[in-house]
Amino acid sequence: MSTSINEPVSVVVVGAGVIGLTIAHILTEGTSAQQYRVTVVARDMPEDLDSQAFASPWAGANWSPMQYDERLHRWEKRTFDKLWDMIPTGLVRRLPSKVYFEQEDAESQAWWKDIVRDFHLITPEAYLPSNVKSGVGFHTVSINPGIYLLWLKSELASRGVKFVRRRLVTLYEAGTLAGDKGVVVNATGLGARSLIGVEDVKMYPIRGQTIVVFAPEVDHFVTLIPNPPRGSEAIYLIPRPSPHGMVLIGGTFQTNDWDTSIDMPTAERMFSRAKKFFPALNHPQTRVLSHNVGLRPAREGGPRLEAQRMNMPAKGGLIPTSTDAAVNALVIHAYGFGPAGYQQSWGAAEEAVELLKAGLGKS
């Protein structure tokens, strides 16, 4: 369907996490700004930093190695380059990093070495556990998710994007808001499992428990990649850009676990493991700032990023609406990024916008 270039297209983004906000950011920048009228509709907004009902505030929010996938690799490289260019803003930190392996020949495991900066081999330090056999060093990026989400919202608000706090029960409500020539962007994360009109049973949570500490002596990212992969607990330390000295210690990867309560024995194990990999945590000034639990929005088969035409009944459905007109809306589904939402956000959002433009017949 082609639309007049003089008439802005109504776009309703459902979900105010990092994926939805990044899509809205791309839609409203540069020459695209006059082509779209964007509204973000969500139950939870970026200022709701203590809400456990959405994942983005609780993320590690750095770039760290994941399993290889050609499509995801493309998103991750584009996102890394974008975030690297944002370092001068102070929103993103240039972060020295060490990744250790439980096997020899670390370089052969590092398919991602073309993404990061200053990649090189390292010799594991003598104080590390005996199962650490090899390692690599490089520079990556890290973000404070709370500050970053608020920055995205501020940028969008300054461009005229409207934010509507509303819990949608069905995707059809968003279609009604967008209108028959509009677009719905479904960036609902775990909500895609229960949202009527989507009901994606492939969605599942990965429970992540972490600790935030004040530890200014910790100055680089550290993680261990086990061989073979095992268990639901991992070791990683992520210094953040701000406030000064803030470090995230993690964590757990507990699939299909919806429990958002803090498990203190788990926290104690995480902190004990972390001290083995970064003895500076034993410094007297180190102190715990918070214990956290978030649910990563994972999906069997990987993220869903695709366009779909959906007939959205505005009358006679489960939810009353203000119009009797039937809606045939273009929907862009963008959810299910699991633990990689931040590190795939710009690449995935750019592809989502390309799908949107193609669906509208725009170049």
- Whichever domain contains 181, its CATH number is 3.40.50.720
Same-domain check for residues 264 and 166? no
Confidence band of 5 (pLDDT split at 50, 70, 90): low
Please compute the mean of the pLDDT values over residues 151-171 and round it to a whole number.
Answer: 97
Q: Is the CB of residue 46 less than 8 Å from the CB of residue 93?
A: no
In a domain, 107, yes or no: yes
Strand-pair category, 9-14 with 36-42: parallel
Give residue 342's pLDDT. Answer: 96
How confident is residue 324, by pLDDT bands cut at 50, 70 and 90?
low
Are residues 140 and 237 in contact, defined by beta-carbon separation less than 8 angstroms? no
Same domain, 291 and 304: no
pLDDT score of 242: 87
- The answer on 214 and 186 residing in a single domain is no
Mean pLDDT of 221-227: 91
- Quick check: is 78 in a domain? no
Q: Annotated binding site for FAD, which residues? A: 188
Q: Which domain covers residue 347, as residue numbers?
A: 9-55+146-202+300-359
Same-domain status, 234 and 128: yes
Q: What share of the chain has pLDDT > 90, as a percent? A: 75
Residues 126 and 186 placed together within one structural domain of the fold: no
The string of pLDDT tens digits covering residues 253-286 is: 999 999 999 999 999 999 999 999 999 999 999 9
Would residue 122 count as lying in a domain? yes
pTM: 0.93
What lies within 8 Å, CB to CB, of 70 at 6+ separation is: none
Does 336 lie in the same domain as 308? yes
**What's the structural domain count of the chain?**
2
Say whether 67 sits in a helix, a strand or coil: coil
Residue type, position 32, single letter: S
184, 310: one domain: yes
Q: Known binding site: residues?
A: 188, 296
The verdict on 233 and 261 lying in the same domain is yes
Tell me the binding residues for D-dopa: 296
Position 217 confidence tier, pLDDT thresholds 50, 70, 90: very high
For 352, how many CA atoms within 13 A lie in the half-sphere containing its CB?
A: 31
Cα distances (Å, whole numbers) of residue 179 to 196, 221, 298, 323: 18, 46, 30, 10
- CATH number of the domain enclosing 289: 3.30.9.10
